[in-house]
């Protein structure tokens, strides 16, 4: 690793990990809420559709919150079949009304039968797990136990099939990291920040390769493991704080 890489990443972490970051990022959506369950549901749905143009993501995630009457947790627990029909018209890229309806139904199952989103992830962790792979795999199994069309499964990525699971890794970063800088929430306590994995996308992947942090050419789970292990050498307790650095450098074309 070249000299100065850690200094660069630390500098950019401090630059981009601020409240100014929120307004143009999907993390804005869970920041509209104060109740834990509202935050985690809003965050999950915003992360689910977090690909493509960020303005479009935020606009459509806001529409989802409006369809849930601005009270996601209460809506999930109490919606009627008539309420569900509103979601049939929702579209964000390939995520359509069928997918959306399934997600709402599955979230109800998660809260009624599996003690909520935090538990659905954390019960998948094994005692010696160094990362969140098993947590994601377990969550996915619970999520798809609700009746659905097979097309909807592609919106819940699977690291067992070597998916980078970027959006779920990002979501877990939001819920777990707690650095008091105002972006990530730190409301989940059973997963440690050191277990998080980098949300790997075209921006973070390309920057990681340019900086000599990642050798693997595909943006898949093997690459996630490689880059995460590299970042642990820079900060063993909070390696994914550098997501801000890599993403910010990439989006702003700084290298």
Written as one string, the DSSP assignment of 70-131 is T-HHHHHHH--HHHHHGGGG--BTTB-HHHHHHHHHHHHHHHHHSSSHHHHHHTT--TT-SS
pLDDT in tens, 207-244: 999 999 999 999 999 999 999 999 999 999 999 999 99
**What percent of the chain clears pLDDT 90, i.e. is strictly above it?**
95
Report the DSSP beta bridge partners of residue 95: 92
pLDDT in tens, the chain (255 residues): 567 999 999 999 999 999 999 999 999 999 999 999 999 999 999 999 999 899 999 999 999 999 999 999 999 999 999 999 999 999 999 999 999 999 999 999 999 999 999 999 999 999 999 999 999 999 999 999 999 999 999 999 999 999 999 999 999 999 999 999 999 999 999 999 999 999 999 999 999 999 999 999 999 999 999 999 999 999 999 999 999 999 999 888 877
pTM beyond 0.75: the answer is yes
Buried b (16+ CB within 10 A) or exposed e, 113-128: ebebbbbbbbebbeee
């Amino acid at each position: 690793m070249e000299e100065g890489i850690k200094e660069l990443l630390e500098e950019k972490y401090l630059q981009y990990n601020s409240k100014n970051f929120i307004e143009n990022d999907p993390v804005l959506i869970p920041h509209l809420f104060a109740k834990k369950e509202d935050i985690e549901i809003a965050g999950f749905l915003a992360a689910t559709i977090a690909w493509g143009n960020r303005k479009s993501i935020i606009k459509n995630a806001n529409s989802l919150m409006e369809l849930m009457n601005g009270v996601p947790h209460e809506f999930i627990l109490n919606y009627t079949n008539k309420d569900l029909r509103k979601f049939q018209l929702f579209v964000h890229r390939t995520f359509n009304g069928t997918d959306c309806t399934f997600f709402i139904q599955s979230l109800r199952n998660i809260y009624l039968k599996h003690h909520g989103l935090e538990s659905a992830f954390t019960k998948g962790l094994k005692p010696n797990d160094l990362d969140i792979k098993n947590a994601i795999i377990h969550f996915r199994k619970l999520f798809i136990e609700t009746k659905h069309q097979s097309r909807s499964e592609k919106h819940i990525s699977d690291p067992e099939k070597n998916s980078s699971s970027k959006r779920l890794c990002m979501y877990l970063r939001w819920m777990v990291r707690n650095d008091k800088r105002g972006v990530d929430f730190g409301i989940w306590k059973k997963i440690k920040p050191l277990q998080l994995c980098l949300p790997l996308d075209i921006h973070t992947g390309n920057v990681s390769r340019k900086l000599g942090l990642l050798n693997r050419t595909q943006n898949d789970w093997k690459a996630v493991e490689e880059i995460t292990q590299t970042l642990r050498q820079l900060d063993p307790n909070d390696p994914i704080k550098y997501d801000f650095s890599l993403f910010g450098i990439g989006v702003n074309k700084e290298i």
